[in-house]
Amino acid sequence: MPSFDIVNEVDGQKLDNAINVATKEFSNRFDFHGSKTTLDLDKKTMVLTLVTEDEMRVKAVQDIIISRMMKQGLEASSLDFGKEVYASGNMIKKEIKVKQGIDKEYAKKIIKLIKDTGIKVQASIMDEQIRVTGKKLDDLQAVIAKVRAGEFDIPLQFTNFRN
């Protein structure tokens, strides 16, 4: 039976490239000269760590990160901007988490959307992804179109399309 998976993944290499370009960009900007701003990506936990002096620079770096991610073809909605924490003295530390996988709440919403369409397919939750199977390829393509049209706060990709 034909099937495909609905996932939420961020390409680590593209994200790394976007962060490297963003770091170069804010290090060359005039308003960042003399600042101790750093931006690091932990590839294992997929967490960006931003350390800078004031909130204006935090906002500027966030804008740079978002624009560089868009140019790399990554969804900015996959970033979870948490709260700022004062690290030491006048420095601000911010951890930005990269969302990976589909949690149970969103998975249930997606499956409900698929079932409400009335298309004869089966959707099941497998870890942090959703597997959709059906008898006809046209049905699966219709499901992809409906899910793309749905309003979700996380970026979704459709992978592992098998005939």
- Domain ranges within the chain, ordered by starting residue: 3-8+101-162, 12-98
Beta carbons within 8 Å of 56's beta carbon, 6+ residues apart: none
User: Going by CATH, does the domain composed of 12-98 fall within 3.30.70.990?
Assistant: yes
Q: What is the pLDDT of residue 83?
A: 79
pLDDT digits (tens, 9 = 90+) for 64-106: 999 999 999 998 888 888 877 776 778 888 999 998 888 888 8
Distance separating alpha carbons of residues 161 and 159, to the nearest angstrom:
6
User: Going by CATH, does the domain composed of 3-8+101-162 fall within 3.30.70.860?
Assistant: yes
Q: Are 79 and 125 in contact (CB under 8 A)?
A: no
Q: Do domains 3-8+101-162 and 12-98 have the same CATH topology?
A: yes
Residue 91 phi, psi dihedral angles, 5° rounding: -85, 145
The pTM of the full predicted model, rounded to 2 decimals, is 0.81
